[in-house]
Every structure is written in C-alpha cells, then in structure tokens.
Structure 1
Amino acid sequence: MHKIGYLGPRGTFSEEAALRHLGERKGETAGCSSIEEIFSGVAEGRFDEGIVPVENSIEGSVGAVLDLLAGPFDLAVRGEVLLPVCQSLMVRPGTRLDQVEKVFSHSQALAQCSRFLRRELPGALPVECSSTAAAAAKVAGSSRPWAALGPARAAAVYGLQVVVPAANDYPDNATRFWVLGREQVPCAAAHGYKTSIIFGLQDRPGALYAVLREFALRGINLTRIESRPAKKNLGNYVFFIDFLGSQGQPGVQEVLGGVASLTVGLKILGSYPAWNCAGTDAFASGGREASLTLAGLRRELDAVDARIAELLAQRTRLIDRVASLKQNEGNIRDPLREEQILSRVRQLSLTAGGDTELAEEVWRVILRHSVRRQASRLASGAAGNRQQALPQAP
C-alpha cells in the first residue's frame, strides 16, 4: 500500500496536503516528528513518498527543506500541492477570548497572525510548538485558559472550539508543498509541468546573468529563483530555480544543457505536474486528475465552501467595525455604494467566467444582511447609551 510521510501529528496542514496528493489512490499517511525524518524515511524506503512544505506566500521559503535537498539526500521532486492556509484560533470549550493567557502554535503560524495577536490578545504570550497540531494537543490536554492557532481540522481532531475562524493577517495565505520520492516522474513532451534544479556558480562577474539568459533566449518562464548558503565559505551560495516546462520538451533539454555548461554541480530535482487552479496535479490518482472523479470534485467543492465560509466570517467582522464608526441608524444605507459594489461584483464574475446573475443575487443577500446587522448593533448601542444616561437611585 502506498505510504506518504508528512510532518505530523494528525491535524496539520501537512497532513491535509498529503491527503490531497493521495487523492483517490489507496494508501496511508504517516506523521513524522521532523522534516529530516521524512527525508530519511523516503530515502530508506519506509515511505513511498514524503510531502514537505517548501515555501509560504507570507513567510517565504522553508530553508531546512532546501538545505536537505542540496545536501545529504539524493531525492527527487515528484509533484507539488498548493494549499490555502487559514489559521484558526481554538480553545477548550468554555474558554473566553478575554481569558486567554498563552497562544501556542508553530513559529510560522504565530508570525502569520502576529498583528491579530497584538490587536486582539495583547496580554497573551505567544509560545512556539513543533507543529500547529502539537499546539492544539497541548491546549486540549491542559486545564489552563490557553489557545492554539492552526487548521480548523485540528480543532475537530483534538476536541477544541474555534473562536476565530480566520486569524491570518493576510487572507491570501498559501503554502506550497513538494512531493518527494526516490525516482523522478516519467514525463513526456507535455505542457502543465514544472522543473526544479539546483546549482552552484563559479565566482566570476555575470555568472548568474549567463544562466538566466539561457532561459530568456528560449522564452522559458521562471516561477521561482532563490539562493541558500552552500555551508562552505562565506559568500558561497547554491541556487534553486523552478521553471515551467518538462525535461521531455526539446527547449527544456537545450536550456538544461546550457545551464550545465555554466554552473557547478547542476542537480535536476525533477519535472512534475504543476498544481493547477482546480487544486489537482496530473500525477494524483495514478495519472488521472483527481478532480475528474466524483469524490475528488466533492473534496474540491468542500475546500471552496470552507474558503467562502472563512471569507464571509471575515466580511462580517469588517461590517461590525464599520457599524462602530456610524453615529446613527439613518446613515446605514448608502445606495450609491451598494450599486458600486454590485457593478464591481458583476465585472469580477464576468472576468472569472462565472454566472453574473448568480453573483449579483448572492451579493444582494449579503448586502441586506450587512444592513440588518449594522442596524441591530447600532440599536443595541443606542439602548446601552440610554441606559447609562438614566439617573441613578440615591
């Protein structure tokens, strides 16, 4: 049975990425305590594949993964998974937000929510854990008023209650994972692939420019370029490049030949199916796109629904802040502003290839809800002010 190692324990974003990559294939996942354990597990044959985070849209690349690929492990990149990251704040049932003393999570999750923590929990102490799931388990096992940041799935696994569905400072947060194996994916001259390489450079002027020129001359698009210390002399670096194309394409073969002549220690990590907009890779499900099955489509719909729910919760919180800035119930409605919103939504839907009538209908419901919510909050605020203004009994 196909076995995939991931950075555990259960309930992490890494586990979710592993399950997405597994798709419809029969297999199992195994949690590891460190990234190096995943690498060694694949190299020694305990796992068929391993899945590791390689970069985050907010915090950048995961240096430990790049260093291990450039160093002692001779593994190939066989695929990628792009996972939206929503950090939820969770507590033991009955714990109020104003009671929270400490917030536990992985260092990257704490960094991704730093502004939220300073604004909403200024008195709570951030505490780093080995993973978001380990943080959830720690909070679940304590009687203290603590909180954890992590995927909402971790709350279900460890019996916690989500009090803030989306605590991210940036709503478009996403992490890219690499699928590692002992052998590269066989690839033909097909579109929809990426290729990843590592190389060093001779210490001479224009060395990096000469390499990049090979790609530019052949019209090959780079999707990432990064340098890491070579762990040798100060100022000695290795470079990582991802680009669109497969080793089976003649143009890619030409550029790799040119790069090999200009670099030191060129290592081709592999060509692999690029993660597409629907959230699938062509290698999942034994070469088929996972989303072409009913179960795969339902998983994609569930992921979209979860994102919609998170964004609606975020919009509602913004509406509450808008209401706090309005002085009376008479200025809640702004017909011109509402028409501008609807016009923009129709245009966005048209550009995205969606149903403009459906988009407008949904947004009219959202706008009506926003007006009712603002009216309710303003009314309760006015009632509170009147109560405070009543003369006190002597």
Structure 2
Amino acid sequence: MTRIAYLGPAGTFTEEAARRFALPGAEYVPVDSPAAALAAVRGGSADVAAVAIENSVDGAVTSTSDALVAPGAQIFAETELAIAFAVMTRRGFSLGDATTLATHPVAFQQVKGWMAERTPGVRFVPAPSNAAAAQMVAAGEADVAAAPLRAAELFGLEVHATGVADVDTARTRFVLVGPEGTPPAPTGDDRTSVVFQTPNEPGALVAILQEFAERGVNMTRIESRPTRREPNTYNFFVDLAGHVSGAGPGAGTGTGSVADALDAVRGRASWYRFLGSWPRASRLD
C-alpha cells in the first residue's frame, strides 16, 4: 500500500490531484500543510506527497517552494487541474446575510470579485485549505465558504453556486514528491527543476542564467524566495524544458543539454539542489 500525504481534510483540490496520480492501492493521508506533507515523506510516515506548486492566477505556491529546499525529497510527476469553486453555506442560510467568507488565501484571489459583487462587505477569513473552510462553515465559524463541490457533500452544506472563478482559465499544477532517487525516463516532453543561491557579487545571477541561454535550454519559470537565514539572501527556483539526462527534443538545441547547463550552474552557485526531472502534464480540458 502506498501512503500519499496531501493537504486535507478530505475534499480539497489537492486530494483530487492526489487521486489523479492513480497510485495502486493508495492510502490517502490528510495533513495540514504542504510542508507537513513533505515532512511526512522525509520522515517515512508517507511514501509520497501530492502538493500544489503553481497557480495560473496567484503564481507559485510559496509554502511548497520553501518546503522543497530541504534535502530528502524529489519531484517525480505532475498533474494539472482546472480550478473553479462552489459557494456554500449551512443549510437554510441566505447568501445575502453572509458577513464572513472562509477559503484558502490562494483561492480568495480567484473568487474575491465574484463574492464582492454578490456579498458586498463580506469579511475574508483565511482557512488552511478550501475543505477546511467548508468545515469551518459547518462548525459555525464562518458564514460562507468557497471550496470544491465535494466538500459540500462531505460536510452537509447547501450549495448556492458552482463553477465560480474570476478567471475562467484558472489552473493549478500539482506535483508528486517522493524520497530522492532516479528520475523517471525522459519522454521528450519533460520538466526539470532546481533551486540555487548565488554568490553575493555583481552579475552572479546573470552569469548563471547565461549558462542556460548559451546551450539553448528554455527556462520556463523563475521565482525567488528569501532564504530566511540571512538578510538579503534568496533561493532561486528555476524550471527548465527538458530532462536532466539530456535526451529528447526538449533537452536543448544549442551546444549542450540540460545536464551540461546544470553542471555549469552547480559550479557557479554558492548552493544548489536538484529538485527533479519528470514528464510534463498534458493540458487538461
């Protein structure tokens, strides 16, 4: 049996993503944060973890990025979900009487326009997950929740609207993380991710990024996060099109490959960690 940790409780989008990975005989283990999911993998209480890593509206899921910095975990797969919400209350409660809205902070960025139009003056109450927001409404701790439709079924709530999203193309990418190991074989449509720090000197980041450009390696995402160890120091997260093995058409079209570029980056960075190479998710309708 494969134990897969995910941001709970049951009824979150992360649970849906975890089930999409279709691991045989999976046992789904709810935890209270992406960091806790990765800690479960590192500590051995879960075999893998499903965590959100990027949202098309709100950008990187920073709690996941920060949790990936520590060694002992690696990305092996991804999936992508179209994101829309159900708006729910306790049974018999009028949406027009709502004064508090519970949802995850990332979700709030995707529904706040819809809610402002229909429930003006409603106060946002952050929840650790969207399903937890539904749980808060069921417990009387908030009036209305924006959450996956399944959460309404699980917590016995009344649904007032479905398909709610200020941006109807909103999507979230989720990754499957396990203990460090050999990456999946290249498919020709792969993603590689690393995180590094640069020396504190002029042009250090530019020099590292040039290593990708010189080899024709496409950098598809870059994010920076404070290291939280020293002031004015940052972790740079970079996604690349291609596989670390250097095989496949996405590996690079210049004088080298993803692997060659990463070797050069490792030599220039003051700190470096490989986060994984894995097949890119097909875009879901």
Give the letter aligned to residue 281 of structure 2. Answer: W
Instruction: Show structure 1 runs of 5+ residues with no match.
Output: 280-303, 305-394
Matched, 1:104 2:105: no
Per-residue deviation, 1:42: 0.4
Q: 2:42, 2:202 → 1: CA distance?
A: 38
Q: 1:233, 1:123 → 2: CA distance?
A: 40
Q: TM-score, normalised by structure 2?
A: 0.90
Q: Which residue of 2 aligns with 1:219?
A: 216
Matched, 1:93 2:99: no
Within a 5 Å distance, the mapping from 1:69-88 to structure 2 comes to 69-71=68-70, 73-88=71-86
Give the letter aligned to residue 4 of structure 1. Answer: I
Q: Residue 185 of structure 1 contacts residue 272 of structure 1 at CA under 8 Å; is this kept in 2? A: no
Per-residue deviation, 1:149: 0.6
CA distance 1:256–1:46, change in 2 (3 Å): same
Per-residue deviation, 1:24: 5.9
Per-residue deviation, 1:169: 1.5
Matched, 1:265 2:271: yes
CA distance 1:188–1:139, change in 2 (3 Å): closer
> Highest Rg: 1 or 2?
1
Per-residue deviation, 1:138: 2.2
Q: Which moved more, 1:235-244 or 1:84-93?
A: 84-93
Aligned CA-pair RMSD: 1.9
Q: Which residue of 1 aligns with 2:254?
A: none
Give the letter aligned to residue 162 of structure 1. Answer: V
Q: Residue 7 of structure 1 contacts residue 32 of structure 1 at CA under 8 Å; is this kept in 2? A: yes
Counting matched residue pairs gives 276
Per-residue deviation, 1:161: 2.4
Give the letter aligned to residue 19 of structure 1. Answer: R
Give the letter aligned to residue 47 of structure 2. Answer: D
Q: 1:196, 1:163 → 2: CA distance?
A: 40
Identify the structure with the greater helix proportion.
1
Per-residue deviation, 1:185: 4.3
Give the letter aligned to residue 96 of structure 2. Answer: D
Give the letter aligned to residue 264 of structure 1. Answer: S
Instruction: Show structure 2 runs of 5+ residues with no match.
Output: 248-256
Q: Deviations over 1:275-312 (max 9, x none)?
A: 112x4xxxxxxxxxxxxxxxxxxxxxxxx5xxxxxxxx
Q: 2:122, 2:4 → 1: CA distance?
A: 36
Matched, 1:160 2:149: no
Q: Residue 195 of structure 1 contacts residue 244 of structure 1 at CA under 8 Å; is this kept in 2? A: yes
CA distance 1:34–1:217, change in 2 (3 Å): same
Q: 1:190, 1:95 → 2: CA distance?
A: 51
Question: Which structure is richer in relative contact order (CA contacts within 8 A, separation 6 or more)?
Answer: 2
Q: Deviations over 1:236-293 (max 9, x none)?
A: 112110111111116122111111121122211111111112x4xxxxxxxxxxxxxx
Identify the structure with the greater strand proportion.
2
Q: Which residue of 2 aligns with 1:235?
A: 232
Among 92, 98, 111, the residue aligned to 1:113:
111
Q: Residue 80 of structure 1 contacts residue 273 of structure 1 at CA under 8 Å; is this kept in 2? A: yes
CA distance 1:24–1:177, change in 2 (3 Å): closer
Q: TM-score, normalised by structure 1?
A: 0.66
Within a 5 Å distance, the mapping from 1:345-384 to structure 2 comes to none
Give the letter aligned to residue 20 of structure 2. Answer: R
Calculate percent identity across the aligned residue pairs. 35
Q: Which residue of 1 aligns with 2:18?
A: 18
Matched, 1:171 2:139: no
